[in-house]
Structure 1
């Protein structure tokens, strides 16, 4: 069952977004998040395609990842989110970074949300046949709002008319593939 903003919890209304979203002093829901720029042997990046449940006409592509659990290390959270959203398991030791930091403010499920994100880069080299993606770890909101996982060629991604988050992702990934200098760069919303 879908919960609504009318349900009340210890931090005020419980959003469909989930309990990891806390209401900040400014009244905006907030969480810390970790994301993975997962790149395969062909330099394609894995992205998620989604929309908002009340704005199905607006769709976008975004990186795998999500909210950190209380006290969770961002590397561990990034790896956990990757498994939950795709079924792909990697070691936290294989993550490079954080390579980017982004403070995002966005509207989702009829609420304004703020998410502070750390991005990690990882190479994915499947042994044998690449496993099919798994939706077994998806939350209710992911089942409602995600319709596809896809490996994107960077040139093809740069030509897409839909929104892609973070903005400029093809060039960001190209820069990382050319070599990361160890500096965590701040991205604009």
Structure 2
């Protein structure tokens, strides 16, 4: 069977204290938990920045124009199994610098979809040190180094 190909866009939401916002996902088949950046798949005809802004609003309640995200800062291709299918996901990461805010997964319009409501069960602002020290699974795996790079570039 061939892999499904999916394009996705994700956002590194970084607050004034250099913490990055991650969502906790718990899946039952197979049982596992992990943390990841807000984001998701592109809708037909949607740009990566447009998808990143839409997903950010749906998953956190924070609304920003796609232009506020600038150019992607990282790209990667991952493989995973989802809904009984093997998926190859090409994803782009954008950065949004903002003040910390209260995450609202029920924001209208949108909010978390039915599948996300079953699996997303928390969020947390992570420091670089916490990312480096955690035994929990965090995606992308390169997030600590990516955060270092993003913070160094914004300091210039």
Could you tell me the TM-score, scaled by structure 2's length? 0.89
What are the ranges of 5 or more consecutive residues in structure 2 without an aligned counterpart?
Answer: none
Equivalent position to 1:89, from 53, 63, 76: 63
Do the aligned partners of 1:52 and 1:109 also contact (CA within 8 Å) in 2? no
Do the aligned partners of 1:53 and 1:144 also contact (CA within 8 Å) in 2? no
Higher-Rg structure is 1
Bigger RCO of structures 1 and 2 (CA < 8 A, at least 6 apart) = 2
Alignment of 1:4-19 (within 5 A): none
Alignment of 1:8-157 (within 5 A): 27-56=2-31, 58-125=32-99, 130-136=101-107, 137-157=111-131
Using the alignment, how far apart are the partners of 1:38 and 1:125 within structure 2? 9
Q: CA deviation at 1:97?
A: 2.1
The structure where helix makes up a greater share of residues is: 2
* Displacement over 4 Å in runs of 4+: none
What are the ranges of 5 or more consecutive residues in structure 1 without an aligned counterpart?
Answer: 1-25, 181-189
Q: CA deviation at 1:55?
A: 2.3
